[in-house]
Structure 1
Amino acid sequence: MSKIGIIGAMELEVATLKKNMDTDQITKKAGMEFHEGNLKGMPVVVVQCGVGKVNAAMCVQILADLYDVTHIINTGVAGSLNPVLDIGDILVSKDAIQHDMDVTPLGYTKGQIPGLEQLAFVADEKLCKTAVEVCKKVNPDIHVTEGRVVSGDQFISSKEIKDALIAEFHPDCTEMEGASIAQAATLNNIPYVVIRAISDKADGSAQEDYPTFEKKAAEHCAKLVQEMMKEL
């Protein structure tokens, strides 16, 4: 039977899910609270991992080792790197890359992790398709598309950095956890998908846009993830 691990970096990204699930047990591990129970009839473990790639990767490993999850969904917000993606839109990951991994002096491609052949970690096709189809049903007024997520331990608010990421990786959005979740899930042979609601444009407007749209964007993502449980 499926058991879904649902990860959000910040409390607002998982608060709605925790509120609406039937919780059987809460376990604290590595500074995180793992809420185990059922959501829309599906066994789930919902957890706020904290910000950044290390927190996110640790969280996946705990979900794999202690909870034997069969799928991982990462929900949250992101900055747009695609002019077609506006604030409020939703991006479902096709794949994910760590943009701040740089071992190019040793002959690696920017973003490539030594010891691993792939540059990008490919998301699960079924999870992606389900996310897109469900989003069209529950959020019919919201534009949803599939694309590439790039992650790094920095909040992108500079046009110069944004332009460099676009030129290097041809991504659709940027955030701080998705690609490390993708890596950890891939290495554990767990199907994953990253779902991101666009909260800012990843440029100089971020300071103004982010507080305004973050909560609304997170709620849209949570609504989508919640309804996905009926289809998995």
Structure 2
Amino acid sequence: MSDDAASFAACVGAPAVFVAMPEEAAPFLDAATARCTAPQPIGTAETYALELDGRPVLLVRTGIGLVNAASALSVVLELFDPAVVVSAGSCGGLRSDVNVGDLVLGTEFRYTDADATAFGYAPGQVPGMPASYPASKELVAAASALPAPEGRVLWRGEMLSGGSFVTAQNVGATRETFPTALSTDMETTALAQVCHTRGREFTALRSVSDLCGPGAGQQFHMELDVVARTSADAVLHLLRSLPTA
């Protein structure tokens, strides 16, 4: 068996971390004490077999968007059977008291732009599916003990995802529909839905890179590599707290 084949074989049943962009993958690759020599492609996604703090971890770069995330996870579940899935990387700050650099721990996940309310469904609910997808209670409990980023806040609560960017022009309607939501991105809820249907433990730890509707005096943007490191550090702390197989 080649070294890469052995590395990927070791990732069967290991935790899987999902990011969308190369910049979000970079901190995990930098932190690895061992890694595959080349990523394994899944369509346009890439998987990396890593060793982090002495344990195998599968890193998956999906590309941006709900379909890219869900399709990559579906294949990963078949090939690697991860018991734990974590969404990492950046997000947009949605609630008015969230600031750039803050860390968001997801406890439930909804879609911003699923709307079947005319048929009696809740905003963000896909017909036939729950109104929201809950995170793993065990993972949330473990991640709640994480230290907040220096000078920033660790939030825990509702995260949104959709196929459209939430901007200053449309943030008002989103906040009105989802008044408790902390953040928005374009992958996490799709991952949560797949994990829900497949019975896998899931949560998200993402750091805020932009504010969808900044208030007066708020910094509205932080560099992607900075927030990617914040998210990755939190995920690495979380992985350390999990029992090894």
Give me the TM-score of the superposition, normalised by structure 1: 0.90
In the alignment, which residue of structure 1 is the partner of 2:70? 57
Contact 1:123 1:192 in 2 (8 A): yes
For the 8 Å contact 1:87–1:201, the answer to whether it is kept is yes
Once residues 9 and 34 of structure 1 are traced to their aligned partners in structure 2, the CA distance between those partners, rounded to angstroms, is 12
Please tell me whether residue 149 in structure 1 is matched to residue 159 in structure 2: yes
The residue that corresponds to 1:199 in the other structure is: 209
Contact 1:2 1:42 in 2 (8 A): no
Kept in 2, the 8 Å contact 1:96–1:149? The answer is yes
Query: Would you say 1:164 and 2:177 are equivalent positions?
Result: no
Corresponding residue pairs, total? 225
Report the equivalent of 1:83: 96
1:73 equivalenced with 2:83 (yes/no): no
Change (3 A) 1:204 1:157: farther
2:16 is the counterpart of 1:9: no
- 8 Å CA contact retained: 1:42, 1:229: no
Structure 1 segments, 4+ long, off by >3 Å, are none
Map Cα deviations across residues 116-170 of structure 1 (whole Å, 9 max, x no partner).
2x1110001121222232234xx343310201001111111124x2121111122
* Cα contact 1:103–1:112 (8 A) shared by 2: yes
Greater Rg, structure 1 or structure 2?
2
Q: CA deviation at 1:67?
A: 0.6
The answer for the alignment partner of 1:214 in structure 2 is: 224
Q: CA RMSD in A?
A: 2.0
Report sequence identity in percent.
24
Amino acid of the residue matched to residue 60 of structure 2?
A: V
Cross-structure match for 1:114: 127
Alignment counterpart, residue 190 of structure 1, candidates 177, 200, 208 = 200
Q: CA deviation at 1:55?
A: 0.5
Aligned mates of 1:19, 1:140 — CA distance in 2: 21
**Kept in 2: contact 1:77–1:196 (CA 8 A):** yes
1:101 counterpart residue number:
114
Secondary structure of residue in 2 paired with 1:134:
coil
Contact kept, 8 Å, 2:104 with 2:206, in 1: the verdict is: yes
Unaligned regions of 5+ residues in structure 1, if any?
none
Q: For 2:147 and 2:47, locate their aligned partners in 1 and report how far apart those are by CA, in whole Å.
A: 26
